[in-house]
Every structure is written in structure tokens, then in C-alpha cells.
Chains A and B, each alone.
Chain A
Amino acid sequence: MSSEVTLEELAALMKKAAGVTVDPHDLEARVDTPFAEFGLDSLGLLGIVGELENRHARALPTDAEKCKTPRDFLDLVNSTLTAGA
């Protein structure tokens, strides 16, 4: 499994891992807004990283959990996943 992580998947993960409800379209419109403004804290993002690592059966860079915005996060995660495909 090496397909790219979509905004829809990220929105679902934010809900599952941290209880943050966000509409995927809203996430797309605010893709450069800091995670904190969505109510997602650092442990919540860490949980999302762990979930993606389990789903894709591979490690993500340690910088992934430090990403501040959805765009930064998806860029980093997807470049890692596609590079190893």
C-alpha cells in the first residue's frame, strides 16, 4: 500500500486520532492553517503519524510529527511514500 494520503484521509484521521471534526473541503481551503487552529495538538499529530506508519507498514520521517500545517504534512508524508513505491 503506497498510495498518497488525501485530504479526505487526513480529515478522517484527525477525527479518529484526536477527536477533531473538520470537513475535507474546509481542510482543503485552509491547507496552510496551523494544525493548532483546527484543535489538533502535537500528541494528536503523533497519533496520526503512528496510524499512517501502521497502514503503510513503513516508517515516516521524524519531522512528520513536527509539521505545522496540513500542506507541509501531506507534502512530506506523500513524498516519502511515493519515493519508496
Chain B
Amino acid sequence: MSAQPNRRTAITGMGVVAPNGLQTETYWKSVEEGLSVLDRITREGCGHLPLRVAGEVRGFDPAALIEETFLVQTDRFSHFAMAAAGAALKDAGLSDAAADSPYSVGVVTAAGSGGGEFGQRELQKLWGQGSRFVGPYQSIAWFYAASTGQISIRSGFKGPCGVVASDEAGGLDAVAHAARTVGRGTDVVVAGAAEAPLAPYSMVCQLGYPELSTVEDPARAYRPFTSAACGFVPAEGGAVLIVEDLDRARRRGADVRATVAGHAATFTGASRWDRSREGLARAIRGALDEAGCAPEEIDVVFADAMGVPEADRAEALALADALGPHGIRVPVTAPKTGIGRSYCGAPLLDVAAAVMAMEQGLIPPTPNVFDICHDIDLVTTAARPAELSTALVLSRGLMGSNAALVLRRDPGPAAR
């Protein structure tokens, strides 16, 4: 965004695949109503593991959405990403974008773990039958970059591509990367993240995280900002955005759903939640600076909401540090308590929710969370009507990344 400050960036399309909705509209409906879909894990081969509750994406039929040639060479996390990208392009009216000028469209995704399910299947062949039985597509399917590559190949895009592997908060970094790519002259960037971390192998990888909730009751497993906070619940899914030059979007008559106003990221070390207070506060200040936004202008905060007492305290204090007195007054929400954290996909789902919250003038609630024990105005129980012009989305990762993103409603002659 610093390269060409005159080139502002719009979000003109969104696609969502989430545990509480396989389309953007159903996702928002569930979020708005505060629906919790956290449930016992049903995936085959996972029943004996101590992780019991997650946000599974159910009823997703990749064969109905994606060509078989792409399905056989990709993992579930890329299936989600391709489906969400297709929906986002359609929403933006850019399904045929490559036909006009393929080099004007780039792709950037963030990934936290890559294709675990595909990888497990091939590794089982390796140790069960031998190396000659491992398929060649293992070389690309597991890889963090797989979704970026497959989205661009599938749609015929030839613009600048990238992958952000910077922990969970990398989901926000990907949006910022896309905005900077637009600032450097690319018209459109397909930006997002989706994850599928609930295969047995992937789940075992997560068991070592002390922040992981192993509570068996879905209603009690993920309750950040309360005295009952006991860790977080993982989830599948994510979202993809169409990030586009604002002037170009206006010229072609696109529906500008929001603008990407500012971003900053910091790093404070793995599981050092006490330090994340300063890291998050600095990220917030950096994002506000880039957006040219005063603290009082923030109308709603989509919190990271880790669900670990020390991390929740750090986040509440970071809001006060960065926003001053406004930090304890601004409405805060965490819709992800109803669906879990899909790692890099989680902040993208929050961005999608923030955009729709601004469009609808409605702050969605934080499911399963009551009796807040921190000094923040957390929206619980039911959605709260509010005039929303500016939203702040926060994200932290288990490995120590912190990021903040400022979104604004389209300041121009709104088409909506």
C-alpha cells in the first residue's frame, strides 16, 4: 500500500467455506444469529484422540464444484480454497477475468499446515506398500503453496502470485500482501486462506499445543474472555476475497463491498502471550497509522479471542493500550467461538464477517460466551445494531505472529 498511496484497494467479492455455511450468505446468517456449530469430531480415524471438539465443514461436495483433474491432485484444503475462490470471483463479476487480461490478476493465499490428509494417504502408501506406490501429486498437494498455484492454474491467471506462511495471523498478512500487489500495479488479486486440519495426522500434529482445548462439551470447549477459558477449538474452512484497485472497480461498476485501509504485523514469540500484548498493540497502531484512522473511528473489533486466559488478558490490554479510553468502549466480537479457529482461514472468515457486519449495520455476537472477565465490551447473546464505517480485525498465531487489519465501508457513491 505504500508503493502507490493513490491506488486504493477495494474488496469486490467474497467466497466462504465454513463449518457454519458453505456459501457467504449462509455463513453470515449463522454468524448473525450467533449459531454455534462446534461438535464432536466425526472424521474417521480420529475417535481415539484426546481432541474431541472441532468445527468440521460438513456436507461439502468438492466433485460438484471442482473438475476431477484438479481434485485428484489436491488436498481438501485446496478444495476449500478453489471453491471459495470460484464463489468470490463470481461475486465480483470476474468469473471470466482471465479471458480479458490474464496478467492483470494475481493470487495470494496464506497457509498454516498444507495438505495433511493427502499427505497422510501417500505416507501410508510409502510405509505400507513402498516408495513406488507414492503418487507424483504428493509433491505438490501437501505444499503450503498448493492453493495459490491451483487457483491460478484453474482460472488461467498469470499475474503476480504469492504464499504467506506467517502463522495464523498470516491470513491478514495475505490480504495486505494483495493490497500491496494492487498498489504496485496489478488490477486484481485473489486473496485468502482455507485450511483442513482435521485429518488424523494433522490432528496429532496439534496435540502438542498447550493452547488446544480438549474439553468434551461443545458448548464449553471454546469460551474466550471468560473465567472458564480453556483453550481454543480448531476448525476447517476459510474465505477468499477479491482485492481490486478501487478506481478500476468503480469504473467497471463493481459492487465495492469494503476497502482495505491499513495493516501491520509483529512477532513476539511462540506461546508468549504476555508479550503479545505489546505486539498486538503495535500492530493495531501500525494499521491505524497506515489507514490514517484515529482510535475513536474504530466502530467494531473482531478479536483474535484465543481462549487462553493469559492471551485473552493480553488482547484486552492491547486494545486499551492502542486505542486508549476507546479500547474499553468499542464493541468487540468473536464469531469464531461458534465455529472454531481454522488457523490462517480464521482471520479471513473474520474479514468476511466484518465486511457483512458493516453492510448490514449489525455486530454479530460471540457464541457460547457469557460473563466476561475482562474490561471490554464484548457483544454476546444477540447481534447488536450499529452504524459501522470502520472495522478492526485482529489475529494471533500460536507461533507468535500478531496482525491487525483496518477495513472501511466504501466512502464513495455506494452502489449498495
Residue numbers of A with Cβ under 8 A of B are 17-21, 39, 43-44, 46-47, 50, 53-54
Contact = CB atoms under 8 A, between A and B. Distances in A.
A47 B68 contact: no
A54 B130 CA distance: 10
B132 A19 contact: no
Nearest to A40: B69
Interface of A is mostly: helix
B294 interface: no
Nearest to B74: A19
Nearest to A48: B136
B136 A19 contact: no
Contact of A18 (B73, B132, B133): B73
A46 B139 CA distance: 12
Interface of B is mostly: helix
Contacts of B67: 19
Q: How large is the interface on B (under 10, 10 to 19, 20 to 34, 35 or more residues)?
A: 10 to 19
Interface of B: 67-73, 132-133, 135-137, 139-140
B140 A19 contact: no
A19 B135 contact: no
B135 A17 contact: yes
A43 B135 CA distance: 9
Given A19-B71, A39-B69, A47 B135 contact: yes
A19 B70 contact: yes
Nearest first, the 7 closest Cβ-Cβ pairs linking A and B are A19-B68, A19-B72, A43-B136, A46-B136, A19-B69, A47-B136, A39-B69
Given A18-B73, A19-B69, A19-B71, 15 more contacts: A17-B72, A17-B135, A18-B69, A19-B67, A19-B68, A19-B73, A20-B68, A20-B69, A21-B68, A39-B69, A43-B136, A47-B137, A50-B133, A50-B135, A50-B136
Contact of A54 (B69, B132, B136): B132
9 contacts: A19-B69, A19-B73, A20-B68, A20-B69, A39-B69, A43-B136, A44-B73, A47-B136, A50-B135
Contact of B132 (A17, A39, A43, A50): A50
Contacts of A18: 69, 72-73
A9 to B, nearest CB: 18
A44 B137 CA distance: 8
Nearest to B71: A19
A43 B70 contact: no
A18 B135 CA distance: 10
B72 A43 contact: no
A50 B132 CA distance: 7
B64 to A, nearest CB: 15
A60 B123 CA distance: 24
A17 B135 CA distance: 8
A18 B370 CA distance: 50
Contacts of A54: 132-133
